[in-house]
Structure 1
Amino acid sequence: MLTHVFRAALQWVCLLPLRVLLILVGLMVVPIALPFRRVQGPPQPFSQAAGEWLLVTLPDWAWLWSNDRDGAVGDRRGWWHLNAPFGLGAFHWFSMFWWLAIRNPANNPRFSPLFGCPVTECDYRYWGKAEVEDDPGAGGWRFLLATHRRTGRRYYGFYWVWQWSETRALVVQFGFKPEPSDFAEDYSGDMSRQWKGFTFEVNPIKAID
């Protein structure tokens, strides 16, 4: 395991600065690109809210900072429509900026081999708990390695949740986001769902419920 920890640290040290750079550049690119946004496909009713969801994407030159799954107006359930800042709803310009540049920054690189792990093409193993969640009583740690069957590329991810009060927890996550349960899912209806991105988070006071 120690060898894999060393390899993981090396991978994260190489990818993290580039990931941070993409996020920072997105703060400038997204507001410039939003006036040129495009609507793709017909509207669909939100599954858990009143109103309709549209796939709104940025122009091709801003593809790295767009979101090919949820678009600029958030999730198809309508959660973002109900919870966007200041009650503005998902279709306000500021809400779209916040979704693309702050909440889900530089999202599309997860569909690339550099920043995305295609779980259907990988085998995996893990150390620690199979299920770790930022929910009450569901903490623990997991270190996961996914290996691409054809190329041998390794994708490392570490997730640790330590609940220190009834409503708060320390959450640490580095690397790629696959969970053991992801490898058992059927993605035939939407193969884009198989791509699990690269992330980093250190939150000592995350609210859990």
Structure 2
Amino acid sequence: MFKHFVRAVIQWLLLFPVRVVLILMGALVVPLALPFARTLGTAVPFTQAPGNWQLVVLPAWAWLWSNDRDGALGDKRGWWHLNAPFDLGAYHWFSKLWWLALRNPANNMRFTSLFGCPVTECDYRYWGDENVEDRPGQGGRRFLLATHKPTGRRYYGFYGVWQWSATRAVVVQIGFKGEPKDWAEDYTGDLSRQWAGMTFEINLFKDIS
């Protein structure tokens, strides 16, 4: 396990600064790309809000900062439509900017082999607790290694939750977000679930209520 932990730290230290730079670039790229956004497919009603959702994506040259799952209008439920800043709704350009550049920055990074783990193409092993959740009574620690079967590329992730009150916990999640249960699911047709993206979260006071 120790050698894998060392490899994991090296992997995280190399990828983290690149990821940060790409996220920061979104503040420039997204406003430049939004006027050229394309609307794809047909409109469908939000499932939990008035109005319609449609897939709105940035042009190809800004693909990395687009969102192939939710587009620029937010989730299909309509949560973003109801909760966008200043009650502007999902259709306003500022809400699209906020969603793509701030709330879900460089979202399509998770669909690349460098910043995303292709779950359906990997074997996995883990050390620690199989199930770890940032919910009351479901804390634990897990260090996971996913190995890409065609290439042997390794993807490492650590997830730790230490609950210290009824509603608060220390949550540390670093690296790739794949979980053991992912390998028992059939994600055919669900692009977003076929890939596990990267995260760097250290929260000493996370609300787990």
Q: TM-score range by the shorter chain?
A: over 0.9
The residue type equivalent to 2:60 in the other structure is: D
Matching residue of 2:97: 97
Matching residue of 1:188: 188
Runs of 4+ in structure 1 over 3 Å off: none
Cα gap change, 1:163 to 1:86, in 2 (>3 Å): farther
Matching residue of 1:43: 43
Deviation at 1:191, TM superposition (A): 4.0
Matching residue of 1:130: 130
Deviation at 1:192, TM superposition (A): 4.7
Equivalent positions of 1:81-160 (< 5 A) are 81-160=81-160
CA distance in 1, matches of 2:160, 2:98: 27
Q: Is 1:17 paired with 2:17?
A: yes
Equivalent positions of 1:164-175 (< 5 A) are 164-175=164-175
CA distance in 1, matches of 2:185, 2:87: 35
Equivalent residue pairs, number: 209
> What is the CA deviation profile of residues 149-181 of structure 1, one whole-angstrom value per residue up to 9, with x for unaligned ones?
111000000111122222222211111111111
CA distance in 2, matches of 1:139, 1:106: 29
Matching residue of 2:57: 57
TM-score (norm 2): 0.95
Moved more, 191-200 or 8-17: 191-200
The residue type equivalent to 2:137 in the other structure is: G
Matching residue of 2:176: 176
The residue type equivalent to 1:59 in the other structure is: P
The residue type equivalent to 2:9 in the other structure is: A
The residue type equivalent to 2:162 in the other structure is: W
Identical aligned residues as a percent:
71
Q: Give the CA RMSD over aligned residues.
A: 1.3
CA distance in 1, matches of 2:76, 2:89: 13
CA distance in 2, matches of 1:79, 1:162: 29
Q: Secondary structure at the residue paired with 1:170?
A: strand
Deviation at 1:198, TM superposition (A): 1.3
